[in-house]
Structure 1
Amino acid sequence: MESTGTNTASEPGAAPDLDLVTVPTRQGLEAVDIIRRAASQAGGVGPVLHDGSGDTLGFLVPSGTADAWDLPGSACTQTNGRGVRFGDAASPTAGATGWLLPPEAVGPVTDPDVLRAALGEAARLIEAADNCR
């Protein structure tokens, strides 16, 4: 059998090919709440990463989402199974990246359409709250 140069076998605890949508923490936390409140939406919220500095949250979404993601104020990158491990600790040490919502607690990835709508609503709520000051 000839090697193609790519490793298709998953390591134990490794994520499949997924994309990661990163957003500012405040907007991300609002989006998590919005998705959870709308329990009837397909799939609900999936695994969410946070960085140790508290600046960003990352939502795991299906592979291919990055190809068409264009929501201002966010970024979507392909992980190709790298950098995201389903076996990582749920409570990371300071300065580390860890799970806000670990995979074993929430299930499958977040639907990109549901996430896009929730992030838009979150941005509007934050803007309204900031304008009330």
Structure 2
Amino acid sequence: MESTDVNTAPEPGAALLMGAPDLVTVPTRQGLEAVDIIQRAAGQASHACGVGPVLHDGSGSTLGFLVPPGTADAWDLPGSACTHTNGRGMRFGDSSPTAGDTGWLLPPEAVGPVTDPEVLRAALGEAARLIEAADNCR
């Protein structure tokens, strides 16, 4: 096989664009807890899925988890929303957002392709319970 000396490797995040992931948005506090829960679980079990790319908004009020396409069709977790992105407005490979803009908390090139919706659902539920318990201790 001849070499063409042409780099045919996809750009970072290109696999995400092919399937236009859906986006689960949650309040920042709950989302940060969920990221920690998923990362701890992935570190403790070799078969556990890690967290995929996570966006933060410029106001600091929400985090968005990229999940597989089609997740929005059945997402019904109270306190969160899941929307189809169809790739609109998604910029991959830009891991240095400007102040006040939406940017990556966990950029695509630093983590797995997307977060498993069932893993995310469980982590968000656990995060909500932890936050409620902490708030009730005050």
Q: TM-score range by the shorter chain?
A: 0.7 to 0.9
Give aligned pairs, total.
122
CA 1:42–1:108 in structure 2 vs 1: closer, same or farther (change >3 Å)?
Answer: farther
Deviations 1:78-121 (A, max 9, x none): 00111212122x23122100000000000210000000000000
| Counterpart in the other structure of 2:87 | 81
Q: Which amino acid aligns with 1:50?
A: H
Q: Percent identity?
A: 88
User: Which structure has the larger Rg over C-alpha atoms?
Assistant: 2
Q: Which 5+ residue runs of structure 2 have no aligned equivalent?
A: 1-10
Q: TM-score, normalised by structure 2?
A: 0.83
| Structure 1 segments unaligned to the other structure (5+ residues) | 1-10
- Tell me the amino acid that sits aligned with residue 127 of structure 1: E
Deviations 1:19-70 (A, max 9, x none): 0000000000000000000013542100000001100000000000000000
Does the CA-based 8 Å contact 1:46-1:101 persist in structure 2? yes
Kept in 2: contact 1:63–1:78 (CA 8 A): yes
The answer to whether the Cα contact below 8 Å between 1:66 and 1:77 also exists between their aligned partners in 2 is yes
**1:100 matched to which residue of 2?**
105
8 A Cα contact 1:22 1:74, kept in partner: yes
2:122 & 2:12 partners in 1: Cα distance? Answer: 33
Counterpart position of 1:61: 67
Cα-Cα RMSD: 1.7
Contact 2:49 2:115 survives alignment (8 Å): yes
What TM-score do you get using the length of structure 1 for normalisation? 0.86
Q: 1:109 to 1:12 in 2, by over 3 A?
A: closer
